[in-house]
Amino acid sequence: MKKYLFLGAVVLLLTGCIEMNIGDVSVTQKDGVLCFDIEDEVMVRSDRVSINSIMVYEVGTQPAKILMHKDFFEKPLRPGKCIPYEGVPFENNILYRVYLGVFIKYQRKNVINSYNRVFCFSEKNNSEKVFHSFKESERPESCPVSSDE
């Protein structure tokens, strides 16, 4: 039942009907692989917080083009560890959003919240890929163009 409620909330989130974002996702590259985690240090240290799902999708596509989706309902993840990206390769100059579904235990209840981050890749003139990451509140309309400068 929890899974269906959560999936319903995700559908509403993706269609823009509800905004439950309470923080930012940390997006880093480790050994050429993108890693996702909660950026909020207070939540990372709290024993009341667990990550129950991750979704990576293209921004602005209708219906949403989902590149990665995993649920961790049976064994929620603790924040503070890398959740590696395991999806199709990213294309240059396309904005992507990562969504982490989070349970926060509050007065004997699990409250569902989310953490988001927007990111993209562009290419320098010398064909080197450049990674860009933005807080949801600072999301550009398109991926910045890189140059050799």
pLDDT in tens, 105-123: 777 777 778 889 999 999 8
pLDDT at 83 exceeding the cut of 60: yes
Bond before 63 cis per omega within 30 degrees: yes
Q: Is residue 41 left, alpha or beta, with left meaning phi > 0 and alpha meaning psi from -120 to 50?
A: alpha
pTM: 0.76
Split at pLDDT 50, 70, 90, the class of 19 is very low
**Fold category of 22-138 in CATH:** Immunoglobulin-like (2.60.40)
Among the listed residues 25, 47, 97, 45, the one whose alpha carbon sits nearest the alpha carbon of residue 68: 97
Q: How far apart are CA 100 and CA 83, in angstroms?
A: 10
One-letter amino acid for residue 79 of the chain:
P
